[in-house]
Structure 1
């Protein structure tokens, strides 16, 4: 009986010792597996952080209009303006929304803001628009007004030169109009602003002397506004209705030039005004 008890005790001791030996060997493997899982989790978490950062960057891109995802360039070649649109990867951008009956509006002004043209280049290859011009020798700023589908875009001035000889223009040369009535093509148009103050909505009402303008690019008229430096571009369309009333807002004080375009008897006329926003 004692021999059986001793044998059983020895057997139990061997089993227990074997278990502890196994546990001491197996535990490092288990710990290593936990570290592998942690590493995989870290990688996935890193991907999540990257995606989250990408979304945040996209949101910032949407909220900060200065981070344009489309870059236009302009060349003057043999009397032809060539506009090329590329995305941030350098690929052509051709997926544009039709905006007031056109894919692209090109506003060209001389650097002294005395000359003004509203052009509509045509395209026959992806991301490239062309139009012949009759610009005189001088320095100009171009504003490519487009609406790319699914991409952030802000209109910025593109400076270019026509010909070799140029006259330097000094900033601050604009004279504020004391009279806001202009005449072109035998038609008088008066500008009646509701206010000339910053940070409030201003209605720009135009008195056409009883005349009714024809539809031009799907609207009663168009208004383009630039600051004195020719940097801040505003393209305003009329409010809904049958009256030539436009609404806009100026965030900074200063001198601005306003070009109003109206169509009479099949011809478009431009009426320029210089105002001071205080």
Structure 2
């Protein structure tokens, strides 16, 4: 009887132990499953954060590229309104054009070299019939002088400079030569229909992709006499004025080996375009009149 009781207790103990082991296993399994889900959820969150970071990075890079393109475009155009921190005056005395520059404190501004020169001076007759691109010599206290014979009349000059640390936008300055030259002459511009001209034996053709407001306008010049020589650090220069000689655009080539110039017009109207190219030792200027539409 005693042996039978011991046997029964032994079997019961083993069975109880088995139930304990099975229950513990089930408990541990239930605890690990939520942990696994939490781990997967965390991994998904990290992956989501990674994609979001990548998207933000791409957006940031695109924004930087757009800003770079905007600044690059702004360097060739003067459409944005800027309050000048450099005052400019011009006078004609004894066969000399005299330009004076002053900063807000009345001192001479420090200028950065821009295309091999500290100052580019564009002089046009008020009716846009005459055009000069000059480089006056610096004297002292912000004064620049250029010996040049001008006939009597009303002119507008554009001083193209890069003052260090000062805001500046090219604006027209009236220049009166001779007596009673107090009013601008009316211009009589006719839009060109042929875009090929020969100047001093050198022929250049111009093609334009678009003449619409707020669209990229690309001027492509082709010379029948081969590629021009470098001039002031570029293969050419293009200066554009509206018919009232108020809006000034100075454009340089888009690349170092092509005479291709890109700009953008902010308003419709008649514009005169001067393309400057050097062949040998002589600079040739090719004027064309265009019309920009809405």
By the TM > 0.5 criterion, same fold?
Answer: yes
Q: Which residue in 1 is equivalent to 2:286?
A: 271
Instruction: Count how many residue pairs are aligned between Structure 1 and Structure 2.
Output: 215
> d(CA) in 2 for partners of 1:152 and 1:68?
6
> d(CA) in 2 for partners of 1:178 and 1:169?
27
Q: Which residue in 2 is equivalent to 1:83?
A: 99
> d(CA) in 1 for partners of 2:239 and 2:229?
18
Q: Which residue in 2 is equivalent to 1:181?
A: 196
Q: Which residue in 1 is equivalent to 2:89?
A: 73
Q: Which piece of structure 1 moves more, 209-218 or 259-268?
A: 209-218
Q: Which residue in 2 is equivalent to 1:245?
A: 260
- 1:196-230 per-residue CA deviation (whole Å, 9 max, x = no partner) reads 11101111000111511011001000000000000
> d(CA) in 1 for partners of 2:289 and 2:130?
13
- The 5-angstrom pairing of residues 1-278 of structure 1 reads 65-93=81-109, 95-164=110-179, 166=181, 171=186, 173-278=188-293
Corresponding residue SS for 2:139: strand
> d(CA) in 2 for partners of 1:192 and 1:264?
20
> d(CA) in 2 for partners of 1:225 and 1:64?
16
> d(CA) in 1 for partners of 2:80 and 2:182?
36
**Structure label with greater radius of gyration:** 2
- 1:52-97 per-residue CA deviation (whole Å, 9 max, x = no partner) reads xxxxxxxxxxx9643110011111111111111011222222x100
Which stretches in structure 2 are left out of the alignment for 5+ residues? Answer: 1-78
How has the CA–CA distance of structure 1 residues 194 and 169 changed in structure 2, closer, same or farther, with 3 Å as cutoff?
same
Corresponding residue SS for 2:254: coil
Which stretches in structure 1 are left out of the alignment for 5+ residues? Answer: 1-62
- 1:72-128 per-residue CA deviation (whole Å, 9 max, x = no partner) reads 1111111111111011222222x1000000000000000000100000001131311
> d(CA) in 2 for partners of 1:267 and 1:223?
16
Contact 1:65 1:152 in 2 (8 A): no
How has the CA–CA distance of structure 1 residues 67 and 167 changed in structure 2, closer, same or farther, with 3 Å as cutoff?
closer
> d(CA) in 2 for partners of 1:143 and 1:97?
17
Contact 1:171 1:228 in 2 (8 A): no
TM-score, length basis structure 2? 0.70
